[in-house]
Amino acid sequence: MSALKDIAVIIPGMNTRQYVQQCLESLARSDWRGFSHEVIYVDNGSKDDSVGMVRQQFPYVKVIANAANLGFCKGANQGSAAAQSRYLLHLNNDTLLYPDSVPLLAEFLDQHPEVAVAGSRLLNPDLTDQWSARRFPAWYNAILGRRSVLSRWFPDSRLVRHYLFKDQLLGQEPFPVDWVPTPCLLVRSDIFQRLGGFPEDYYYWHESIFCHRLRQIGSLVYLCPQSKVVHFEGKGGGPRPYTVRRWHIVDFHGGAYRYYCERHGFGRFNPLRWFAAAALATRAVILLSANRLGSFLQRT
């Protein structure tokens, strides 16, 4: 058995050869500050020779080549099961790391054994914030979410700033949050395995439900704002024609409903469960209609 590494980097990917290459190049430029590491790329049935590129240009990377798309969570869990490390760094393939992105997270977890997960400050390619620190959503986040129209119109409103930890994120000190997204998330391997990894029956909302389950066993989640990562949001899963966008909208709202019911412990006959289903279905129909209209206008 090989020696236990400090960090295993798990990168799932599918049909995003250019982004995978850029991600691995940025990872190779990292200053590991003495942390031993291994890199595992999990390919979900790519047709663009992503696997060949990784094997040729990054021969030190451990490659798991699936014949079909298993989804993000199954791929991430598959890579995690092949790792032998104290920490697991779940990294999206459409990210670019700063040289100190990873060691800052690992140093923080080493210094704070009560914390199970540390996330990075995610930036858009123009280096504006993606607001990667999150609270568990309340009902009003259906219209005041991170990417909603009202939040763009009123980005400094009290509710938006509170939900996205905007004031804390612009500081320098790590701070506790409810959950962080997976584009760059470092987690203790033993706790990840204890929870059974990411929930494979979720696509959207898997980070939220994972962090909720983690907090139920008494562990903490922090965001480290000095650890910065550029994230090309939405590029890691390949092209998104209308049929793909439609699937994403339906899955997002279905996942939101299941997450909401699990987090609040709503039984099958709880009326709040029915209200949530109706509200989320209405929101999904509105977004589907808007996307359909947008696709029609693009063709005309």
pLDDT tens digits, one per residue of 32-46: 999 999 999 999 999
Lowest average pLDDT, out of 17-21, 37-41, 264-268, 290-294, goes to: 290-294
Q: For position 158, what pLDDT does the model report?
A: 86
pLDDT band at 236 (very low <50, low <70, confident <90, very high): low
* Interval 171-195 mean pLDDT: 96
Quick one: 5-231 is in which CATH superfamily? Spore Coat Polysaccharide Biosynthesis Protein SpsA; Chain A (3.90.550.10)
Domain residue ranges of the chain, discontinuous segments joined by +: 5-231, 242-299
pLDDT band at 125 (very low <50, low <70, confident <90, very high): very high
Percent of the chain with pLDDT over 70: 91
At residue 239, does pLDDT exceed 70?
A: no
Residue of higher predicted confidence among 268 and 170: 170
At residue 298, does pLDDT exceed 70?
A: no
* Interval 40-65 mean pLDDT: 97
pLDDT band at 170 (very low <50, low <70, confident <90, very high): confident
Q: For position 256, what pLDDT does the model report?
A: 78
Q: For position 244, what pLDDT does the model report?
A: 75
Q: DSSP states of the chain as a string? A: -PPPEEEEEEEEESS-HHHHHHHHHHHHT---TT--EEEEEEEES-SSSHHHHHHHH-TTSEEEEESS---HHHHHHHHHHT--EEEEEEE-TTEEE-TTHHHHHHHHHHH-TTEEEEEEEEE-TTS-B----BPPP-GGGGTSSTT-HHHHHSTTSHHHHHHTTHHHHTSSS-EEESB--TTEEEEEHHHHHHTTSS-TT-BTBHHHHHHHHHHHTT-EEEEEEEEEEEE-TT-TT----HHHHHHHHHHHHHHHHHHHHHHHT--TT-HHHHHHHHHHHHHHHHHHHHHHHHHHHHH-
At residue 300, does pLDDT exceed 80?
A: no
Q: For position 2, what pLDDT does the model report?
A: 65
Mean pLDDT value across the chain: 89
